[in-house]
Amino acid sequence: MNLKVFVNVKYTVSLAVLAIITLNLYSGTYLIPVFLQNVQGASALEVGLILLPATLAMAGVMPLVGKLYMRIAPQWLIVSGILLIAVGTLAIGHLDVNVSQWYITLWLTIRYIGLSLTIMPLTNVGMEAIPRELSGHASSVNNWIRQVFGSFSIALFTSLMASRLSVHNQALGLDGAAEAQRKLLKAEAFTMSSNDVYIVATLIVLVGLPLVWTLFRSKPRQERLASHKFRNVQNLTQKEQLK
């Protein structure tokens, strides 16, 4: 794996945005199944069925994103995707113990549609900035970043969850509660802690927005020079035609 790919600023920034999105993604992937099983008592099969529509929506939107990428500036696709991810994550951050499973399915689907709008254009923008001879190394780094930040995300949100769970258990008076109330209070504390995690995940993904604009703030120097040379050639050709 050739680390020279990090010299390319555009590629490095695209990796940073990708890492931020990966951090946000794993908050839902990790916590939603736990919430559904531990708090709402859903079976493993029911959890799978609840998560299935979001996955199908993501698969269905991917081909459309490929077509839109050729017609719409990629920054708009990426920004739209990040905003959908942020809105979906924020909505999931307002769970309660008796929340409808359709509510969870809806907002997970919106998050995954946002993911579809973001990942492919973001990856393409980064890879297009890399010389052909380094493209294999850049692809390897992409996969490595996803794996590393996926693992880091689980560690981060598990630690945050444990910390917030301790705070909410104490605030709800779990230690001094009667045995009949303990199960309900535990479920309430877990739900409140999950909501705190999703709020943090929302703030994390919004950090990606200003980074996206740095990708498209100006043309790379090589592109500007090539464009300038092309205009000069056009001007010379027009002058010769006038003669």
Per-residue pLDDT of the chain (243 residues; tens, 9 = 90+): 667 777 888 888 889 999 999 988 888 888 899 999 988 888 999 999 999 999 999 999 988 988 888 888 888 899 999 999 999 999 999 999 899 989 999 999 999 999 999 988 888 888 888 888 888 888 888 888 888 888 899 899 999 999 999 998 888 877 777 777 888 888 898 999 999 999 999 999 999 888 888 877 645 444 434 443 434 444 444 444 444
**Which residue bears the tokens 């604009």?**
213
Instruction: In whole angstroms, give the CA distance from residue 243 to residue 235.
Output: 13
The number of residues in the chain equals 243
Instruction: In whole angstroms, give the CA distance from residue 216 to residue 128.
Output: 13
C-alpha torsion angle, residues 83, 86, 89, 92 (rounded to 10): -70
Give residue 170's pLDDT.
85
Please answer whether residues 46 and 170 qualify as being in contact, where contact means their C-beta atoms are separated by less than 8 angstroms. no
Instruction: In whole angstroms, give the CA distance from residue 24 to residue 38.
Output: 22
Give residue 223's pLDDT.
47
Instruction: In whole angstroms, give the CA distance from residue 216 to residue 200.
Output: 27
Helix, strand, or coil (residue 71) = coil
Model pTM? 0.83
Give residue 2's pLDDT.
66
**Joined tokens for residue 35:** 């919430």
Give residue 109's pLDDT.
94
Please answer whether residues 173 and 43 qualify as being in contact, where contact means their C-beta atoms are separated by less than 8 angstroms. no
Instruction: In whole angstroms, give the CA distance from residue 117 to residue 68.
Output: 9
